């Protein structure tokens, strides 16, 4: 290597070669390299995984307090859950990244924590967090033990080869069962009993031991700071003043403020106006290297230009490898979202695009309805996800929307041999053209106390479920596995499961496959006109009962008019149920005091003709509560 070598990139092997032939200028480079190597040894990237309500956010609060990341003055409950909605409901909806500095045995360590949600509807957020980490804290509630989502998230972490640190939370509670729950953890992950850390997010017990385990058990990040830049976008947010802010984890290379970078999947190129790390507030830095978790601001204004799961690299020295192993989002529940005021259509589109930035699991496409006008067909991961999106549209964007009856996607085989995917009942081909309809089935795992097993099995069988397996985890805890149609669980299954088990049952599911089903399209007619927004695809055995209850519910909710309103449920041309909302009547004969009956009859006939004419031109207003009523028919 000549003395005036202008190579910008360096590694240990080339340094040794250079030393042998006496290159002096390499000494400076090896010092920089050693500093980067030393810095990477002191970085730990980890996430927290657990079932809902097992204390993830509380443990995160104590870690932030103990490391001095958040001051006592700024400390609030669920400090990382920055949405009012999260604090009100006591659940984590979004994953949150934060950097903590911690001095351990005289050395400064950088700990990057990504807190994750626990509810089954937000498992996509968990997969994003896991893809950016080397280790995970597995939090288990000492009063409830292993639950369904704990197992699901754990398997996800093991697939990504993460180091698992088991933590037994809520040890301060009188109902804690430490020995029994430790047995469950040992059976689940095969760890030593001594590796399980006893802790309490409420009192702070076990927090020093957790930090000790993070530093000693979780491996340091691998990567070469001098290789071409390779960074994974794991989240993004929209800022009204600065545009779209992307959060990333660097696997290889270094990024500096002002670098010209490229987002590989979109092919767009930008200047990195600002890069930095995520503390309680965004903290700008001159450069970030392999192993770091941070953010980039490039003045991006269009949401489509940033995709979660994309790889960032340099324009002048791009990487050849795109980061893989990122779970693709697959919506499970579909519903129409329409603005109450038709003029708000474009505003609703803009709001959904900004929400999609912050929640990549939301999908939407334009559609129109005869009853509701123009809107969007949205895909959600579950009913809670749908409810949260509707609430966020209202709070964050001040959008009043109508949400139609949720349904799942079906596969329709036509007589011509075509395969059509149907998300909306109005997209169903005519019955004579249908050869076969297939619906998605799930593998449902329910963990419960043995006392509630009978009622839970009855619920699943009523929902057309098939029992596959049951295993006693302990003398009083049992895991049952069912084959269930997804369409049967999207509406009220989870609520009913919680009621039957008094809150003790936990539920997790995975899409299994599609199976043939006897499905029919149930239409709701108001005065003979079909309301497409209330149409549903339903199993033929449930159609009559469901149609009758829909008519009864709508009779309660639709306000009375000046004319009779006929509410009918129909399968094709066959009416299977009917209710009538009686007209608001005015006593036109009140002014007749006695006299001939023909005088009264004349007035009544005149009124009858008027009502008939009004019925032909009158519109029936369907309130939003009618669309939501289908969710609460039981």
Concatenating the DSSP letter of every residue in 418-444 gives: -EEEESSGGGPPPGGGEEEEEEEEEEE
Range in 52-61, 404-413, 475-484, 613-622 with the lowest mean pLDDT: 613-622
Q: Which of 526, 549, 528 is nearest to 634 (CA)?
A: 549
For residues 465-484, average pLDDT? 87
Three-class DSSP category at 124 = helix
What's the pLDDT at 238? Answer: 77
Taking the CA atoms of 220, 226, 232 and 236 in sequence, report the sign of the dihedral they define: positive
Neighbours of 421 (CB within 10 A): 9
Q: Which of 211, 275, 215 is nearest to 249 (CA)?
A: 275
Cβ(443)–Cβ(463) below 8 Å: no
Give 133's pLDDT tier (boundaries 50, 70, 90).
Answer: confident
Task: Give the whole-angstrom CA distance, residue 126 versus residue 33.
Answer: 34
Give 170's pLDDT tier (boundaries 50, 70, 90).
Answer: confident
Range in 265-279, 381-395, 522-536, 596-610 with the lowest mean pLDDT: 596-610
What's the pLDDT at 621? Answer: 65
Q: Which of 266, 345, 359 is nearest to 304 (CA)?
A: 266
Q: Which of 599, 603, 623 is nearest to 611 (CA)?
A: 603
> Cα angle vertex 386, ends 548, 82, to 5°?
150
Task: Give the whole-angstrom CA distance, residue 576 versus residue 570.
Answer: 6
Task: Give the whole-angstrom CA distance, residue 210 versus residue 207.
Answer: 5
Give the relative orientation of helices 493-500 and 453-462 as an angle to the nearest 10 degrees. Answer: 160
What's the pLDDT at 483? Answer: 92
What's the pLDDT at 334? Answer: 82
Range in 192-201, 287-296, 353-362, 549-558 with the lowest mean pLDDT: 353-362
Q: Which residue has the higher pLDDT, 426 or 526?
A: 526
Give 487's pLDDT tier (boundaries 50, 70, 90).
Answer: confident
CA distances from 273 to 69, 225, 232, 243, 259 (A): 26, 21, 18, 11, 8
Give 353's pLDDT tier (boundaries 50, 70, 90).
Answer: confident
Render pLDDT for 510-532 as a digit per residue (tens, 0 to 9): 778 889 988 888 888 888 888 87
Give 481's pLDDT tier (boundaries 50, 70, 90).
Answer: very high
What's the pLDDT at 619? Answer: 63
What's the pLDDT at 4? Answer: 38
Strand order in the sheet with 96-104: 96-104, 107-115, 43-49, 135-141, 163-169, 197-198
Range in 181-195, 375-389, 458-472, 618-632 with the lowest mean pLDDT: 618-632
CA 160 to centroid of chain Cα atoms:
20
What's the pLDDT at 60? Answer: 83
Mean pLDDT of the chain: 78
Cβ(543)–Cβ(520) below 8 Å: yes
pTM here? 0.66
Three-class DSSP category at 543 = helix
Task: Give the whole-angstrom CA distance, residue 338 versus residue 475.
Answer: 50
For residues 410-434, average pLDDT? 84
Task: Quickly list H helices, 463-593.
Answer: 486-489, 493-500, 540-557
Spatial CB neighbours of 600, under 8 Å, sequence gap ≥ 6: 589, 592
Range in 4-8, 149-153, 623-627 with the lowest mean pLDDT: 4-8
Cβ(348)–Cβ(356) below 8 Å: no
Render pLDDT for 53-109 as a digit per residue (tens, 0 to 9): 777 778 888 888 888 877 665 555 555 545 555 445 555 555 567 888 888 888 888
Kind and range of the H or E run holding 69:
none
């Amino acid at each position: 290597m000549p003395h005036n070598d202008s190579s910008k990139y360096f590694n240990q092997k080339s340094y040794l070669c250079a030393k042998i032939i006496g290159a002096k200028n390499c000494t400076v480079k090896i010092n920089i390299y050693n500093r980067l190597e030393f810095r990477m040894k002191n970085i730990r990237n980890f996430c927290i995984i657990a079932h809902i309500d097992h204390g993830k956010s509380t443990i995160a609060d104590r870690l932030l307090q103990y490391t001095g990341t958040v001051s006592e003055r700024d400390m609030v409950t669920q400090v990382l859950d920055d949405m009012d909605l999260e604090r009100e409901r006591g659940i984590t909806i979004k994953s949150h990244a934060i950097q903590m500095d911690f001095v351990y045995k005289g050395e400064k360590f950088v700990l990057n924590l990504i807190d994750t949600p626990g509810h089954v509807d937000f498992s996509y957020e968990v997969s994003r967090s896991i893809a950016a980490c080397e280790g995970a804290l597995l939090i288990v509630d000492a009063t409830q033990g292993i639950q369904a989502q704990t197992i699901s998230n754990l398997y996800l972490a093991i697939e990504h080869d993460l180091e698992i640190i088991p933590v037994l939370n809520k040890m301060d509670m009188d109902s804690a069962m430490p020995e029994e729950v430790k047995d469950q953890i040992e059976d689940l992950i095969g760890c030593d009993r001594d590796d399980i850390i006893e802790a309490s997010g409420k009192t702070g017990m076990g927090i020093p031991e957790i930090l000790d385990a993070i530093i000693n058990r979780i491996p340091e990040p691998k990567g070469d700071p001098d290789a071409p830049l390779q960074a994974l976008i794991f989240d993004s947010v929209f800022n009204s003043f600065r545009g779209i802010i992307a959060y990333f984890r660097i696997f290889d290379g270094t990024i500096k403020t002002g670098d010209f970078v490229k987002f590989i999947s979109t092919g767009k190129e930008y200047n990195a106006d600002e890069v930095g790390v995520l503390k309680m507030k965004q903290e700008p830095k001159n450069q970030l290297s392999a192993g770091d978790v941070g953010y980039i601001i490039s003045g991006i204004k269009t949401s489509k230009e940033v995709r979660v799961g994309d790889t960032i690299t340099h324009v002048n020295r791009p990487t050849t490898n795109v980061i893989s192993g990122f779970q693709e989002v697959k919506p499970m529940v579909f519903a129409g979202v329409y603005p109450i005021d038709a003029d708000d259509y474009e505003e609703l589109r803009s709001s959904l695009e900004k929400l999609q930035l912050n929640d990549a699991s939301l999908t939407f496409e334009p559609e129109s309805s005869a009853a509701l006008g123009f809107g969007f067909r949205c895909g959600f991961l579950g009913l809670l996800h749908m409810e949260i999106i509707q609430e966020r549209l209202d709070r964050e964007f001040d959008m009043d929307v109508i949400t139609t009856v949720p349904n799942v996607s079906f596969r329709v085989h036509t007589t011509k041999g075509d395969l059509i995917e149907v998300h909306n009942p109005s997209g169903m081909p005519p019955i004579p053209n249908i050869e076969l309809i297939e619906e998605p089935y799930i593998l449902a795992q329910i963990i419960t106390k043995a006392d509630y097993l009978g009622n839970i099995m009855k619920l699943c069988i009523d929902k057309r479920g098939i029992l596959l397996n049951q295993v006693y985890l302990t003398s009083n805890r049992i895991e049952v596995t069912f084959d269930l149609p997804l369409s049967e669980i999207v509406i009220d299954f989870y609520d009913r499961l919680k009621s039957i088990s008094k809150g003790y049952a936990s539920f997790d599911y995975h899409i299994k496959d599609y199976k043939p089903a006897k499905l029919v399209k149930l239409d709701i007619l108001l005065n003979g006109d079909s309301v497409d927004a209330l149409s549903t695809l339903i199993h033929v055995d449930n159609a009559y009962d469901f149609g009758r209850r829909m008519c009864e519910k709508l009779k309660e909710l639709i306000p009375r008019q000046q004319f009779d309103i006929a509410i009918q449920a129909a399968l094709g041309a066959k009416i299977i149920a009917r209710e009538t909302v009686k007209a608001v009547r005015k006593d036109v004969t009140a002014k007749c005091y006695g006299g001939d009956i023909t005088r009264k009859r004349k007035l009544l006939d005149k009124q009858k003709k008027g009502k008939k004419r009004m019925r032909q031109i009158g519109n029936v207003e369907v309130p939003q509560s009618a669309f939501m009523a289908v969710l609460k028919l039981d």
